[in-house]
Amino acid sequence: MTMSENVQNGARGDGVVLGGRFRTIFPKAAKPLIAMAHIPALPGTPLYAAADGVRGLVRRVRDDVAVLVDAGFDAVMFCNENDRPYTLKADLAASAVLARVVIECAPETIPYGVDYLWDAECALAAAVASDASFVREVATGLWESDMGLWSSDASALLRHRRALDADPIAVFMNVTPEFASNPGRRSPAEVAKSVAVSSLPDAILVSGPMAGAEPEVSTLAEVRSAVPADLPVLLNTGASATNIGEFLEIADGCIVGSSLKEDGYTWNRVDPGRASAFVRTARG
């Protein structure tokens, strides 16, 4: 029996506990609902609102987080969603301000994570600085993207996590990144199956082609079938109150952002009614 067959069948002898960090973060939630706390554009980016300053960022995000906690989500994830055009390398100011916003806006009653579009090392640094429980990143593969040719490095990221004594921080790996495509011939399911063996993910994420866009249900199902049963697979984009029931028949949880906003627009404020309706529908 090959190593991948052993992993697929759950017969592990390598000390890896698939999904262990994920279940430590969410010990009671059968299918965790993670809501996005989108940070307005950071200093130095084209859309930064200099008149509001960093304190304005904090006020806006703090208000959104309060709504998400009240709606009953299992966790929130902070992300620099409006730093368009996105970069593959964060600068020092962005990293510092991201960490500050997370620290000042972190919920006290539920877990939280960090995502930086698209620099995994920045997300990890901010997570360490803010005591976050998880990060979401594209950590594996070579991609052609709106940001140019994109080469990720899971080996560097996980070695850096170990060097920082930050082993409890889970890394959720997106295997179908938004705004990008795989130049190779492997399907999302084939990529996910390989990543499950080679890259030690704490969860696999499946996305649509861009923020707010859902993947094909069949793609999610194929990825779920391709990886070991104890490795969580989450819907990463496109979740809404109208489709979440179908997706959660397959996925082990979801990350949701755009559909919770006023008018369903990614960069608007969180709409309390939409947030509450999503949680009610998802939990049936």
What does the alpha-carbon distance between residue 267 and residue 41 come to, in Å, rounded to a whole number? 10
Q: Which helix (H) or strand (E) holds 7?
A: helix 3-8
Assign 7 a pLDDT band (cuts: 50, 70, 90): very low
* 20 occurs within a structural domain: no
Question: Cβ distance 179 to 142 under 8 Å?
Answer: no
* 14 occurs within a structural domain: no
Domain containing residue 169: 28-282
What does the alpha-carbon distance between residue 275 and residue 34 come to, in Å, rounded to a whole number? 11
* 21 occurs within a structural domain: no
Assign 14 a pLDDT band (cuts: 50, 70, 90): confident
* 10 occurs within a structural domain: no
Number of domains in the chain: 1
Q: Which helix (H) or strand (E) holds 37?
A: strand 33-38
* 231 occurs within a structural domain: yes
Q: Convert the pLDDT of each residue in 171-228 to its tens digit.
A: 999 999 999 999 999 999 999 999 999 999 999 999 999 988 999 999 999 999 999 9
Q: Convert the pLDDT of each residue in 67-122 to its tens digit.
A: 999 999 999 999 999 999 999 999 999 999 999 999 999 999 999 999 999 999 99
What does the alpha-carbon distance between residue 43 and residue 37 come to, in Å, rounded to a whole number? 17
Reply yes or no on whether the pLDDT at 8 is more than 70: no
Question: Cβ distance 254 to 208 under 8 Å?
Answer: no
User: What pLDDT, on a 0 to 100 scale, did the predictor assign at position 16?
Assistant: 81
* 153 occurs within a structural domain: yes
Which CATH number is 168's domain given?
Answer: 3.20.20.390
* 11 occurs within a structural domain: no
pTM of the model: 0.95
* 264 occurs within a structural domain: yes
What does the alpha-carbon distance between residue 248 and residue 85 come to, in Å, rounded to a whole number? 32
Assign 13 a pLDDT band (cuts: 50, 70, 90): low
What does the alpha-carbon distance between residue 240 and residue 261 come to, in Å, rounded to a whole number? 11
